Amino acid sequence: MDLHQAIADGVAELAVAFGDHTLRHERMGDSSCMADANRIVQAIGNLVANAATHGARELPITVRSECDGERFRITVHNGGKPIPPELLPRLFEPMVRGSEAGAVQGVGLGLYIVREIVRAHGGGWR
């Protein structure tokens, strides 16, 4: 699959859904990788939704894709407040929400789904 193009297409669709945020896509390296494009875009959608919900509206959300032909890395950065260190070890568990989630809609499965998609591709997260 052409990783960068699949992600660019996904980010373009997400820009419509999250129209009050600026989304950027940065590409690095080769674009040919073996992956399930639909699941990768689903994971990015969950990460962007999380970034939009918990980040500063006036700061852009940046999706970066890097590929070296065998492995790929995708990062999503929102420029908002850092995730509290005590939450990091549990962040990708089901139903885990930070104390600042407050009245935010959702059941707490988005990042868990990201984790499972990443695992299915033989990857990890940091």
Does domain 3-120 fall under CATH 3.30.565.10? My reply is: yes
Tens of pLDDT, residues 17-39:
999 999 999 999 888 888 899 99
Buried b (16+ CB within 10 A) or exposed e, 65-76: bbbeeeebebeb
What are the structure tokens assigned to 4, written together?
Answer: 């960068």
Prediction pTM value: 0.89
HEC secondary structure over 23-60: EEEEEEECCECCCCHHHHHHHHHHHHHHHHHHCCCCCC
What are the structure tokens assigned to 107, written together?
Answer: 């059941």
- Per-residue confidence in pLDDT tens, the chain, 126 aa: 788 999 999 999 999 999 999 999 999 988 888 889 999 999 999 999 999 988 888 999 999 999 887 788 999 999 888 888 998 889 899 988 766 655 567 778 999 999 999 999 999 877
Domain ranges of the chain: 3-120
